[in-house]
Amino acid sequence: MIVYSKQSISLRDAIRVGLQVKNRSLTQGLEINKFEESVASYVGAKYAVAVSSATAGLHLAHLVVGNPIGSQVATSPFSFVASANSIIYANQVPFFVDIDSETGNISVEQLMKILDKEKIKTVVPVHYSGVPCDMERISEICRAKNIQIIEDAAHALGATYPTGKKVGSCAYSDLTVFSFHPVKSITTGEGGMITTNNLQYYKALLKLRSHGIHKNELEFENEMFSYTGGKPNTWYYEMELLGYHYRLTEIQAVLGSSQLKKIERFMSKRKKIAKFYDTQILKIENIQGMNSSQRDLSANHLYPIKINFAKISKSRNQIMSELKDLGIITQVHYIPIPVHPFYKKLGYQFTKVPNAMNLYYQILSIPIHPELSRRDQKKVLKSLKKIIA
């Protein structure tokens, strides 16, 4: 089967993981620190904190920003549900800002209108399919209103802004969150990373990811229990706040570090595939590509196409089924979040995000990943053309 995406694990990756499992620590060791330092260096941020998932990272990011309970947080409706769920985990309220139907990213014009009307405390732009949002404008607008920015960059490790800075540098935001799920730029199986340039946020994130516990003798509050004869007790730790078990394992960190060494190769392969698709999609009637002008900036995590179903005799379900019969797996990214029953029950209406709904009715993600051969790419395109014709 030609799957829409998959991990790219080498023998060297597997050997490094095997050595860690057999001979070294499995959790809370030096490999996590090494991985964090490597990611921070790669994206150009001062600090990075590894966590168990991007969802956990988004949750903690909202907590360290420290908005009051019930604060409104603006984000995209055209994303995986974790983007909004994490806001609710932090006892805040999602506010969906409609998208630019050409890019799939949050509409800056719509955001400006919302920020003039609503009391928004934080904005969470989602870099859909790996294409960076217009962070320069978003940053300028939000900074003028003292609004915090958390970038949901689950799709975008390896992406670059037009200025040349990498997504994750936090040049235009307070925090950025990445995903290491198997279909992302690099993988740790499951896992995520938060980057920031704010020292206070960094310190708080380290505590929050591990039950709110710290072992820093300079911050101990209970002198009676933490010291013996004027010296800190070697076993002692303190729980300072209510945290979570959001730690990454050493095994995952080793895999992540090994994968990160290959990220430029992964990015190059994804870009080549996307550019090949761009040239060939133009030749297929009733299909349109997206974001071809952004290829050199994008992480090219997904390759979504828009299909004009009004002009063809088949439904999306039929097309996906026929492709599957030919050995090609496709996917829909995404069902707009207000469509889901949980959010409908909270009072959200999908009719208020027409651009997101319009794109949803057309969208289909076709295969793209570093292991995809040119032969398979041609088969995908040939099959699409045959089925739609």
Tell me how far apart the alpha carbons of residues 112 and 383 are, in angstroms, rounded to a whole number.
42
Q: How confident is the model over 30-85, as pLDDT tens digits?
A: 999 999 999 999 999 999 999 999 999 999 999 999 999 999 999 999 999 999 99
Q: Which residues contact 255 (CB under 8 A, 6 or more apart)?
A: 13, 16, 17, 187, 188, 189
Tell me how far apart the alpha carbons of residues 287 and 274 are, in angstroms, rounded to a whole number.
15
Indicate the range of 18-27, 86-95, 107-116, 302-311 predicted with least confidence.
18-27
Tell me how far apart the alpha carbons of residues 94 and 121 are, in angstroms, rounded to a whole number.
11
Tell me how far apart the alpha carbons of residues 5 and 270 are, in angstroms, rounded to a whole number.
11
The token pair at 235 is 């076993």
Q: How confident is the model over 172-231, as pLDDT tens digits?
A: 999 999 999 999 999 999 999 999 999 999 999 999 999 999 998 889 999 899 999 989
For the chain, the distance separating the N- and C-terminal CA atoms, rounded to the nearest angstrom, is: 23
pLDDT score for 149? 98
Torsion of CA 201, 245, 54, 148, to 10 degrees: -30
DSSP state of 226: H
Is the pTM higher than 0.85? The answer reads yes
* Residue with tokens 């994303």, as numbered in its chain: 79
Tell me how far apart the alpha carbons of residues 205 and 209 are, in angstroms, rounded to a whole number.
6
* Residue with tokens 């090609």, as numbered in its chain: 328
The token pair at 98 is 């409609």
Domains, the chain, with CATH or none: 11-260 (3.40.640.10), 263-388 (3.90.1150.10)
Burial degree of 265 (CB within 10 A; 0-12, 13-18, 19+) = exposed
130 band by pLDDT with thresholds 50, 70 and 90:
very high
User: Which residues are registered as beta bridge partners of 178?
Assistant: 193
Q: Where are the alpha helices (DSSP H) in 78-128?
A: 82-89, 108-117
Q: How confident is the model over 240-249, as pLDDT tens digits?
A: 999 999 999 9
**pLDDT mean over 323-338:** 98
The pair phi, psi for residue 201, each rounded to 5°, is -60, -45
29 band by pLDDT with thresholds 50, 70 and 90:
confident
pLDDT score for 28? 85
Q: How many residues does the chain have?
A: 389
pLDDT score for 23? 81
pLDDT beyond 90 at 297:
yes
Give me the chain's average pLDDT, please. 97
Q: How confident is the model over 300-310, as pLDDT tens digits?
A: 999 999 999 98
3-state secondary structure of 385: helix
Q: Could you tell me the sign of the dihedral formed by the alpha carbons of 322, 291, 62, 37, in that order?
A: positive
State the Cα angle at 259 between 171 and 371, rounded to 5°: 110
pLDDT score for 24? 80
Tell me how far apart the alpha carbons of residues 373 and 219 are, in angstroms, rounded to a whole number.
54
Please check whether residue 49 is in contact with residue 43, taking contact to mean a CB–CB distance below 8 angstroms: no
**pLDDT mean over 331-341:** 98
pLDDT score for 31? 96
267 band by pLDDT with thresholds 50, 70 and 90:
very high
